[in-house]
Amino acid sequence: MKKILLKVLIPILVIVLIIGYFGFIPGISNLFGSNKPKDLGVKYTLADLESAKKKINFKFTELNSNLPPKDSIIFNGKTTIKHNFPHRN
């Protein structure tokens, strides 16, 4: 009886812990801390932003500051991007 119980409970427990870690069971993801943001160590400078803007050849213009959030960004047109954006620390 104990062997059968262990053969059933251990796989169920492992499955519950795995799906909990991935956030499907909120209490378990809280326990593991897997629902917290992680610092990936990506750092960038203003020069990096300007370089990216130049590479993608987009025009950024300011809109009226009184616009509601849903209207505060407009995407218009398209362009082909043939650049790499390497990661550096």
Residues with Cβ within 8 Å of 25's Cβ and at least 6 positions away in sequence, in order, are 16, 19
> Quick check: is 82 in a domain?
no
> Quick check: is 19 in a domain?
yes
pLDDT band at 15 (very low <50, low <70, confident <90, very high): very high
> Quick check: is 22 in a domain?
yes
User: Can you tell me the mean pLDDT for 14-34?
Assistant: 86
pLDDT score at 28: 84
> Quick check: is 39 in a domain?
no
pTM score: 0.42
> Quick check: is 24 in a domain?
yes
> Quick check: is 64 in a domain?
no
Question: Domain range for residue 15?
Answer: 2-32
> Quick check: is 6 in a domain?
yes
> Quick check: is 43 in a domain?
no
Q: How far apart are CA 15 and CA 22, in angstroms?
A: 11
Q: How far apart are CA 42 and CA 82, in angstroms?
A: 22
Both structure tokens of 88:
């550096």
Number of domains in the chain: 1
27-64 pLDDT, tens digit per residue, is: 888 888 888 888 888 888 999 888 888 888 777 777 77
